[in-house]
Structure 1
Amino acid sequence: MNTQHPIDSGNQIPDRNFDDIAARFRKTIYDTPKGQLRLAALRQDFADLNIPLQQCEVLDLGGGQGQFALELARQGANVHLCDISAAMLALAQHSFATANLPLKSACCPLQTAAAVFPGQFDVVVNHAVLEWLEQPYDALETICHFVKKDGWLSLMFYNLHGHQWRQLMNGRTHAPEGSNDRLRREGNAPQHPLDPIKVMDELRANGFEILRWRGIRCIHDHMHQKIRERIGQPSVNQADLEFGLQDPYRLLGRYIHVVAKRAIP
């Protein structure tokens, strides 16, 4: 049975809420080759690292429509999920209900999730959220507190280097570090791309050991569409999954996925 616990955050956090474009997100991201490539990379990392999921407690902070959380639930995980967008959360609840799988859910920002989901968890997931927040590194510290000792963190974020490289290749010789005000108000361009080296330094400072990190869409996004069409999406995906784990290519991924384990309480 799905449950929702709406709460008032008690503050005016100016973070991006996707109520207005929830349906568009499914069409323009999740149902596209780039969305499927993202999921393939996440699956590969979880499988390669043998992250235990059977009967484990998973907290998905900013879980959106719950695509990956649903996959974890199908592998035996007990999923807790929050999102600031009621529209996105409703889609997640529908997916879990359709699959006849339980979901404990809350409509709230991750900054206040502890009020609904107290304690710590075996696996904490935070995918494509930090770059939409006005204070991403404050939120990162909050995320770390949810992971129990010897627990796992799966963190994916929009990559500063991939963002700037794309801007340069599009002719912007002074590549910006973030989106402009218009896109932040109207579009789905992330506000604050993050430097993966800084993020991993912050994780280590919070007691985590980095077990793997990869670039996602480090080949796909920098290959001309006509070439992708000629060689076929499976070949593009295979190259992306392979080179996304290698330097220097992974630094050019549009997203970075970090898997870390908490070494200290």
Structure 2
Amino acid sequence: MTSPSDRNFNGLTTRFKNNIYGTPKGMLRLYALREDFAKFKIGDKELLSILDAGGGMGQFSSELAEKGHKIELCDISSEMLDGARSLFIEQGLESQGHFTQCGIQDIPQRYDQQFDLVMNHAVLEWLVDPTEALNILYRQTKPGGWLSVMFYNVHGRTWRGLMNGKLHAPATSSERMAKEGIAPQQPLEPQWVYDQLVDLGLEVKSWRGIRFVYDHMHQKIRDRVGLEAIAASESEFGYQAPYKDLARYVHMLCYKPET
């Protein structure tokens, strides 16, 4: 059974749509994912079976569906699933997507197949046991397939707090914030995630930071330079330390060897 402590976003879909998906923050996420997938030509030569685990409202999945790939999207939130289903319908992609309500822990019982590509974007930081989730995602990935993991970075959160005058370690979130807030309450350490992925037997082909420029830049400067220039800077420096280590999110793209 799905842990009752894992975060369910029923009742918060409008806030997510307005505060993340429909903003420059969400656009920069999508820019980064497109760039990383294009770099390794994932899905360019053949159609893929794709599992979007904790897929939310399906923005990136719908882009892959437009290219002809088949999407299995699951999420613990029925409202998020309704949003994803509506997006696919609006774009005429009904035949490309299938939607299942379940948590990450329930995936092995819901899907008796492995996938060419498994995606898990902005989910791990909301789970009680991210180690268990990574093991499940690994097992659902075909040998010769890809696992795409994006997660909230503890260093980015700490650095942002310091720049805003919070000169102390972040406090544990209140019970109200844990239930009602949309800022992840359990950010992850990138090296820990990397080590987990390697220990599973995956080859981490790409490790890049997302929003290490945008999130630490004053709004007036953002407005002056524009999102396109910020995105270009994120592309130029996003794969390099120390810049990637201060990003709000980290994206790791992993290959599962065939033998």
Corresponding residue for residue 4 of structure 1? none
Matching residue within 38, 44, 48 for 2:35: 44
Q: What letter corresponds to residue 48 of structure 1 in structure 2?
A: K
CA distance in 1, matches of 2:41, 2:168: 42
Choose the corresponding residue for 1:73, options 65, 74, 84: 65
Matched, 1:159 2:153: yes
State the shift of 1:48 in Å: 0.9
Q: Pick from 44, 47, 59: which aligns with 1:55? A: 47
The answer to whether the 8 A contact 1:86-1:107 is kept is: yes
Q: Find the aligned partners of 2:80 and 2:253 in 1 and give their Cα distance.
A: 25
Structure 1 match to 2:10: 19
Name which of 13, 29, 36 aligns with 2:20. 29
Q: Report the Cα distance in structure 1 between the residues aligned to 2:85 and 2:143, rounded to whole angstroms.
A: 29
Question: Which of 114, 124, 127 is matched with 2:121 structurally?
Answer: 127
Quote the Cα distance in structure 1 between the aligned partners of 2:104 and 2:240. 32
SS of the aligned residue for 1:152 comes to strand
Give me the identity figure in percent. 47
Show CA shifts across 1:213-261 (max 9, x none).
Answer: 1000000001111111111221112112221111110011100000000
Per-residue CA shift, 1:157-206, capped at 9, x if unaligned?
Answer: 00011011111112222222764433112211212101111101110111
Among residues 89, 101, 118, which one is paired with 1:107 in the alignment? 101
Instruction: Give 1:114 deviation, angstroms.
Output: 2.1
What's the secondary structure of 2:6's corresponding residue? coil
Q: Provide the alpha-carbon RMSD of the alignment.
A: 1.4
Instruction: Give the match's secondary structure for 1:215.
Output: strand
Post-superposition CA distance 1:14-65 (Å, at most 9, x none): 1111111101111110110111011001000000111125421000000000
Task: Name the amino acid aligned to 1:37.
Answer: L
Separation (CA, whole Å) in 2 of partners of 1:15 and 1:210: 26
Cα 1:177/1:137, change in 2 over 3 Å = farther
Give distance in 2, aligned partners of 1:261 and 1:178: 35
In structure 1, C-alpha distance between the alignment counterparts of 2:152 and 2:228, rounded to whole Å: 23
1:158 and 1:256 in contact (8 A); partners too: yes
Task: Pick from 253, 256, 261 the counterpart of residue 247 of structure 2.
Answer: 253
185, 191, 211: which one aligns with 2:179:
185
* 1:232 alignment counterpart: 226
* In 2, Cα distance between equivalents of 1:192 and 1:39: 22
| Contact 1:179 1:189 (8 Å CA) reproduced | no
Unpaired runs of 5+ in structure 1? 1-9
- The answer as to 2:110 corresponding to 1:116 is yes
Shift of 1:264: 5.1
Structure 2: gaps (5+ residues): none
- Contact 2:2 2:103 (C-alpha < 8 Å) held by counterparts: no
C-alpha distance in 2 between matches for 1:150 and 1:97:
31
Q: Is the 8 A contact 1:164 1:175 kept in 2?
A: yes
Determine helix, strand or coil for the equivalent of 1:122: strand
| Native 8 Å contact 1:62 1:126 kept in 2 | yes
Is 2:194 the counterpart of 1:200?
A: yes
TM-score norm. by structure 1 comes to: 0.93
**Which range is displaced more, 81-90 or 180-189?**
180-189
1:128-143 matches, cutoff 5 A: 128-143=122-137
Q: Distance in 1 between matches of 2:63 and 2:127?
A: 26
Structure 1, residues 94-123: CA drift from partner, whole Å, max 9, x if none? 111222222111011011022222121000
2:85 is aligned with 1:93? yes
- Please say if residues 62 and 83 of structure 1, whose CA atoms lie closer than 8 Å, have aligned partners that are also in contact: yes
